Amino acid sequence: DQMFSFKYSPGKLRGNQYKSMMTKEELEEEQRVQREQLAAIFRLMKEKSDTFGEMSEGDMKEQLRLYDI
């Protein structure tokens, strides 16, 4: 019987792993693509507020913090 102990940190471990494997240019491109994808998601959410509900800028920032963005 072995006990395993680990600390789960959603998003952060994976984010740090991929960041350390990328060049500066790749990282900048990844961040640019992320910004474009988030902008598209927020536009869709705003256009379809009857489906997604109303979200304030503060609500969105809080959600982004959950994903280490």
If one counts the domains in the chain, the total is: 1
pLDDT digits (tens, 9 = 90+) for 24-37: 898 899 889 988 98
What is the reported pLDDT for 33?
92
Q: Tell me if 9 is assigned to some domain.
A: no
CA distance to 4, 10, 12, 44, per residue, from 7 (Å): 10, 10, 11, 35
Q: Please calculate the CA angle 66-6-18 and round it to the nearest 5 degrees.
A: 55
What is the reported pLDDT for 29?
92
Give 1's pLDDT tier (boundaries 50, 70, 90).
very low
Q: Please calculate the CA angle 48-49-53 and round it to the nearest 5 degrees.
A: 135
Query: Is the per-residue pLDDT at 12 higher than 70?
Result: no
Q: Tell me if 29 is assigned to some domain.
A: yes
Nearest Cα neighbor of 42 from 69, 11, 14, 9 is: 69
Query: Is the per-residue pLDDT at 19 higher than 80?
Result: no
Q: Tell me if 8 is assigned to some domain.
A: no
CA 65/CA 50 separation, integer angstroms:
24
